[in-house]
Amino acid sequence: MRVTQALPQSLLHRISRRAPLLAAAVCVALASSGCATRSALGEKLSDAKHESAPVSADGAQTTTITKFQKFMWFFSPYRPDIQQGNFVSEEMLAQLKIGMTRDQVRFIFGTSLAADIFHADRWDYPFRLAKGDGEITTSRVTVFFKDGKVDHYEGGHLPTEKEYIARIAGPAPVIKEDPPTTKQ
């Protein structure tokens, strides 16, 4: 009984010669894209650049990635948009007034995710939106209570609800209207 090869010898020789080069190219692409060096939510803040100078430690901050990192993102696995925390908009913050009760604050902002038993008179509302393309938006609003009423709060320079929706879904499409036609 005669055994024959399934692939011709010349094809096997070409594949065996190119396999190490292909493996090396894949390893270089994965290493340079930084799959193992990113945090669980995307870019490290040290690698990203600020879109604009941060307004304050309490305001909303947005960081973006460089053009090279955006190019190398092609070699990275799919990354979904991840939202964590309570989004507090500029409109919601405008409703907060000194002297409001805890229930009124909870109605406006929602339940604080960072309630601390050691600081019962302080509610923190952290927020982080990590987009799949590496853009990160963070904000923090802190409300301080005294005798069960709002004493003061920290935070500001927050995005409006319209800006937040545009950041998630992209800019609103522009609808062109046809000029009215007159019948003759």
Do 141 and 122 contact (CB within 8 A), yes or no? no
pLDDT confidence of residue 63: 78
Tokens of 29: 């692409």
Buried b (16+ CB within 10 A) or exposed e, 16-25: eeeeeeeeee
Torsion angles phi and psi, residue 162, rounded to 5: -65, -40
pLDDT tops 50 at residue 36: no
What DSSP line would sit under 102-134, residue for residue? HHHHHHHH-S-S--BTTBTTEEEEEEEEE-TTS
pTM: 0.58
Cα(62)–Cα(79) distance, integer angstroms: 18
Residue 122: pLDDT band by 50, 70, 90 thresholds?
A: very high
Q: Domain-by-domain residue ranges, the chain?
A: 38-169
